[in-house]
Structure 1
Amino acid sequence: MEVGMLPISASKRGKLLAAGYTTLDAIARSSPTHLARDIEVSEDEASEILNFATKTSALNRSNGSNINLVEVGGQTAWDMLNEEKFSSCITTSCVDLDNILGGGINCKEVTEIGGVPGIGKTQIGIQLAVNVQIPLEYGGLGGKAIYIDTEGSFMVERVLQIAEACIEDMSEYSHHFHKDVQACGVKMHPNNILENIYYFRVCSYTEQIALVNYLDKFISEHRDVKIVIIDSVTFHFRQDFEDMALRTRLLSEMALKLMKLGRKFCLAVVLLNQVTTKHIEGSFQLTLALGDSWSHSCTNRIILYWNGSERHAFIDKSPSLKSASAPYSVTSRGIRNSTSGSKRIKMM
């Protein structure tokens, strides 16, 4: 691991990994102020780490070594295990859902969330765009979000509503954290949460592909971004696409780029998907759109469905999580734990 080459303490290396600094170049591109804030050290210590990273990176280049070993597979299993210990999650605001997800939506992974209309896909996307901003002092990431809207379903009024509820929740549970946390909560305002969501509206599959290609540059300039949400990844690829081989190739290339973004910048990628019908054993059944080949493009696949009048989320595929389901509710305050006897409410 490149971070392991730095002559610094193990605790500082752990903080670097937890903050997403997995390569020397990633550290060298940061500023002392940003690095100090991200790993909670003084600016003098951050400057010293930056100097080490810059010199070591330059030495590696002069020796012809590959500084992208992590990305091309030159990483040991021990390094991978240590990284997993420091992996970050984004809470869904539903305890039951977080539990089956191992704490929430995991960074460095591509998570697909799909289901029928009205089940709450966009609501979950908006909730995650808000929750990624929960400060470090409250156990969050203190990051920003990119929201790519392909359907025009993003509602800024709803974002404001969920942001206000998030701040109220942090104030309510502040006693679980250290004494000074209340001062941080007072400074937060719903408008700040809205300012930290970068919204992109795309109207064709070509615009969508172009934007995904641009994300590497954009995130390099906005290092606080910790989640990318596409709502939905499906929409433009289901319209007037006669060349299915071309569609499959474009989708595979896009999925690969999104996976690399998640690993490179230690952020979560969440792809919201629609459903379609599939003929299985003599009958038509609902399944997530884009076909079987697409199902292998994501790290985790979560299917949302109705169980009577209650919403449920089911982990259909994951390399690290066991198949399980959990109930959840869509309330005026956002995604929350399901309550017994809850009625089905049609979401706009």
Structure 2
Amino acid sequence: MSEKTVTVTKPSVKNTIGKTMETTSDKKETEITTPKAKEVKEAKIKSILELPGIGPQSAEKLIQAGYKTLESVAVASPMEMVEVAGVGELTAAKAINAARESLEMGYESADKIQARRELIGRLSTGSKELDILIGGGVETQSITEIYGAFASGKTQWAFQLSVMAQLPKEKGGLNGNVLYLDTENSFRPERIVQIAKAKGLNPDNTLKNIFVARAYNADHQMLLAEKAADLVKEKNIKLVIVDSLTSQFRSEFIGRGRLSDRQQRLNKHMRALMKLAEMHNVAVLVTNQVMSRPDILFGDPTAPIGGHIVAHNSKTRLYLRKAKEDKRVAKLVDSPSLPDGEAVYRLSENGIEDT
């Protein structure tokens, strides 16, 4: 009887050990590299020099254009960076996204928004009726627009708030200084002195705390607004005034053929003002001119210049009109949180007062 030989193949110890060592090695490698990867991922960019694609020359151009912080880059558009820094659109987009990720700009819970809104200051107008109408005063972190016909008191509002902003918070002020963009050569220091004396402030100090810039055309006006961020931080600016918002745009961009260009530039200007208000917690007041609409046969034909562009960018809109003698009427026509209404006040040598 023949014997059958059965061969049993055992697994190679070498192979088994090799595989085990390989697996162990992989695990160790994973354990070692994962924390490093996490650390790299969580590393935050701290300056614009660290942004991807932004070299020293591009960074210098950004700084000269007013983009000195990650926050200013994060809220910019790619085309803005292309214009000022000379980088490609793709590079600009990557840099902006990197800044946003570093600052964790994205969705946030409503309670955080509420906490940020609690930092909002309210600047008193000097009239209790007006303050009630607009929810306690002119808000920081937003744009307030006042419009009306000639001699309706728009510039008087600018003068009044320029003084009121310097008062301590317990007296309705913001305890800060004022940046005043004058586009119509209507700023009058002597009027400031009158109101300052009525409020118990030193007139000389009050004038020193108002920084006035005369804008001679639309481009100059836009440039002054874009460069304002540095002055806001250096001089403790709490109120920015533009008197008047649309005067230069209205005179330079004449005719329907240039209407689109005017609106685009006006929108860019207002976005710069809005960015200033939100990023630095300042109040922005703009005065606006009006026109008469011939298609309105019944009712008030008065309409503000700037159309939907100005309307969408202004958070609070007030329509001013003259009443009898020294009285004026302010009508709240738009607010995200307040009902429409009216308030009557008077203009005197002392400024805005209750009737």
TM-score, normalized by the shorter chain, greater than 0.5:
yes
Partner of 2:320: 304
CA drift at 1:139: 4.7
Aligned counterparts of 2:351 and 2:99: Cα–Cα separation in 1: 51
Partner of 1:264: 279
Partner of 1:285: 301
Task: Give 1:23-34 correspondences, 5 Å limit.
Answer: none
**Match among 242, 248, 253 for residue 230 of structure 1:** 242
CA drift at 1:238: 1.0
> What per-residue deviation string (whole Å, max 9, x for no partner) do you get for residues 280-309 of structure 1?
355681111122332212111110013455
The answer as to 2:339 corresponding to 1:327 is no
The answer as to 2:288 corresponding to 1:273 is yes
> What per-residue deviation string (whole Å, max 9, x for no partner) do you get for residues 233-260 of structure 1?
1110111314111101001111111111
Q: One-letter code of the match for 2:245?
A: V
Q: 1:64 to 1:327 in 2, by over 3 A?
A: closer
Q: 1:64 to 1:89 in 2, by over 3 A?
A: closer
Partner of 2:158: 125
Partner of 1:209: 222
Aligned counterparts of 1:268 and 1:321: Cα–Cα separation in 2: 18
User: Which is further off, 286-295 or 313-322?
Assistant: 286-295
**Match among 212, 237, 251 for residue 199 of structure 1:** 212
CA drift at 1:136: 3.6
| SS across alignment from 1:316 | strand
Q: 1:94 to 1:200 in 2, by over 3 A?
A: same
Task: Give 1:86-105 correspondences, 5 Å limit.
Answer: 86-105=119-138
Contact 2:129 2:345 in 1 (8 A): yes
Contact 2:124 2:172 in 1 (8 A): no
| SS across alignment from 2:294 | strand
Q: 1:150 to 1:82 in 2, by over 3 A?
A: same
> What per-residue deviation string (whole Å, max 9, x for no partner) do you get for residues 201-229 of structure 1?
1111111011111112222333x100100
Aligned counterparts of 2:119 and 2:100: Cα–Cα separation in 1: 26
Task: Give 1:28-177 correspondences, 5 Å limit.
Answer: 66-69=101-104, 72-167=105-200
| SS across alignment from 1:239 | helix
**Following TM superposition, where does structure 1 have runs of at least 4 consecutive aligned residues deviating by more than 6 angstroms?**
none
Q: Give the superposed CA RMSD.
A: 2.2
Unaligned runs of 5+ in 1: 1-23, 27-62, 168-187, 339-348
> What per-residue deviation string (whole Å, max 9, x for no partner) do you get for residues 146-204 of structure 1?
0111111111000011111111xxxxxxxxxxxxxxxxxxxx52211111000111111
Aligned counterparts of 1:96 and 1:128: Cα–Cα separation in 2: 15
Q: How much identity, in percent, do the aligned residues show?
A: 32
| SS across alignment from 1:279 | coil
Aligned counterparts of 1:113 and 1:282: Cα–Cα separation in 2: 24
Q: Tell me the number of residue pairs that the alignment of Structure 1 and Structure 2 aligns.
A: 256
Aligned counterparts of 1:257 and 1:65: Cα–Cα separation in 2: 18
Unaligned runs of 5+ in 2: 1-68, 72-97
The higher-RCO structure (CA 8 Å, 6+ apart) is 1
Aligned counterparts of 1:216 and 1:86: Cα–Cα separation in 2: 19
Aligned counterparts of 1:157 and 1:64: Cα–Cα separation in 2: 46
Aligned counterparts of 1:250 and 1:25: Cα–Cα separation in 2: 24
> What per-residue deviation string (whole Å, max 9, x for no partner) do you get for residues 41-73 of structure 1?
xxxxxxxxxxxxxxxxxxxxxx9873544xx55
TM-score (ref. length: structure 1): 0.69
Q: 1:73 to 1:124 in 2, by over 3 A?
A: farther
